[in-house]
Amino acid sequence: MKFTVSSSALLSLLATTGKVISNKNQLPILDYFLFDLRDGRLKVTASDLETTLIGSIEVDNIEQEGVIAAPARLMLDSLKEFPEMPLTIEVNDSTWEIKICWNSGVSSIPGVSGMSYPALPALAEDKKEIEFDVDTLVAGINKTIFATADDELRPVMNGVFINIQPETTTFVGTDAHKLVRYTAEAQSQVAASFILPKKPANLLKNVLLKEDDSIKVSFDNKNVIFELTSHTLVCRLIEGNYPNYNAVIPTANPNKVLIDRIELLNGIKRVAVCSNQATNLIRMDVAGNTVNLTAQDLDFSVSAKESLSCSYDGEPITIGFKSTFLVEILANTETPTVQIELADSTRAGVFKPVYDDKQNSDTLMLLMPMMINA
């Protein structure tokens, strides 16, 4: 194998695909990139068995095609030291030595045969295929992934639930304390759903930023394949039944608060400094057109209080929330104004962004309250 490639282009490709590689791989070969050179393109594969990311770039001056496994850490460390310049990479097919040559030097890195690299899983014959709009997929993942859990006992909550219907696509993330539901208008010929694990979801949202066209998605009961312009992501789905998230969303919340999101976010951060370190409890008292935020830690005799103006329609209400969850929800809302819908101190609060114009999507965030000690 021998070819010439831009140092920065190769580094960018390896850095992107290399995010898949785990620090604790089950197989030694998974510490390597699989290089596959054919038809004028270099295809680079990285995997942790659960998730595989494949990227490709065009290369020049190909003298011989071939396949080799290259050590990921050594390749990345080497390429980081080069400015933008052409590199000639040559592989010895008998010793698997990889030579990187540039105009003033050469380095040698030990590779191994790529024959033992794990093969990609094949989808079942009854697989489903759809096309996703890039913006819908990016927005759906970005808005919900922060709410997913890290729960070994309930693995179905460790990913983003994607529910595809003929006219809408819904993305859901929840950890049983907070929940985010994002629904976008989207035409589809199939009705199906799957749970995308958190790691491939994070990888996907990064590579999607460079995409313009729609994304082809194929999936069966066990695996999903996302086909992008220069990348392909294959991952094992989380198996199991996702909880009935609509059942926990309150339908009648008569008390509605309209408030400046940034003011509320900053106020919570200031007051939370004095909250109990174990509970992070913040008390919200809403009456008239004022929200009073209170936090205290009796063990250390610290307390804080702040009053913020709002537009409020409803009865006076007192409710407690975990400050770290409040900050997450408000930080992941993009509008200047947020609407908070409340029923009473024991039922979940619903947070909705307030837009100036009509949207073809709907975002709802829910947060379970905490008990307030009188």
- Is the domain of 235 the same as that of 255? no
Residue 292's pLDDT is what? 97
- The radius of gyration of the chain's CA atoms, rounded to the nearest angstrom, is 25
- Is the domain of 302 the same as that of 228? no
Coil/strand/helix, residue 252:
coil
122 in a domain, yes or no? Answer: no
Residue 10's pLDDT is what? 97
d(CA 93, CA 182): 51
| pLDDT tens-digit map of 32-87 | 999 999 999 999 999 999 999 999 999 999 988 999 999 999 999 999 999 999 99
d(CA 305, CA 361): 36
281 in a domain, yes or no? Answer: yes
139 in a domain, yes or no? Answer: yes
d(CA 305, CA 294): 4
- Is the domain of 134 the same as that of 166? yes
Instruction: Examine the fold and report which residue of 88, 116, 144 is the final residue of a domain before the chain moves on.
Output: 116
Residue 236's pLDDT is what? 97
Helices (H) and strands (E) in the chain, counts: 6, 26
Q: Which domain holds residue 226?
A: 128-175+186-244
- Is the domain of 263 the same as that of 276? yes
Residue 3's pLDDT is what? 95
d(CA 6, CA 228): 22
d(CA 17, CA 44): 8
- Is the domain of 254 the same as that of 361? yes
- Contact assessment for residue 112 and residue 93, using Cβ atoms and an 8 Å cutoff: no
- Is the domain of 290 the same as that of 305? yes
Residue 374's pLDDT is what? 54
312 in a domain, yes or no? Answer: yes
Residue 123's pLDDT is what? 93
Six-digit token pair at 330?
């408000």
CA-CA distances (angstroms) from residue 371 to 233, 319, 337? 43, 8, 27
Instruction: Examine the fold and report which residue of 223, 244, 265 is the final residue of a domain before the chain moves on.
Output: 244
207 in a domain, yes or no? Answer: yes
Instruction: Examine the fold and report which residue of 244, 261, 279 is the final residue of a domain before the chain moves on.
Output: 244
- Is the domain of 52 the same as that of 94? yes
Residue 98's pLDDT is what? 96
- Is the domain of 89 the same as that of 132? no
Mean pLDDT, the chain, rounded, equals 94
User: Which amino acid belongs to residue 127?
Assistant: K
- Is the domain of 255 the same as that of 363? yes
Residue 370, H or E segment: none
Residue 36's pLDDT is what? 96
d(CA 330, CA 200): 25
266 in a domain, yes or no? Answer: yes
168 in a domain, yes or no? Answer: yes
Q: Which pTM value belongs to this model?
A: 0.92
Residue 211's pLDDT is what? 85
Q: For the chain, which ranges sit under pLDDT 50? A: none
- Is the domain of 140 the same as that of 79? no
> Can you give the CATH number for the domain in which 144 is found?
3.10.150.10
Among the listed residues 304, 295, 303, the one whose alpha carbon sits nearest the alpha carbon of residue 322: 295
- Is the domain of 95 the same as that of 169? no
Quote the number of domains for the chain: 3
- Is the domain of 44 the same as that of 96? yes
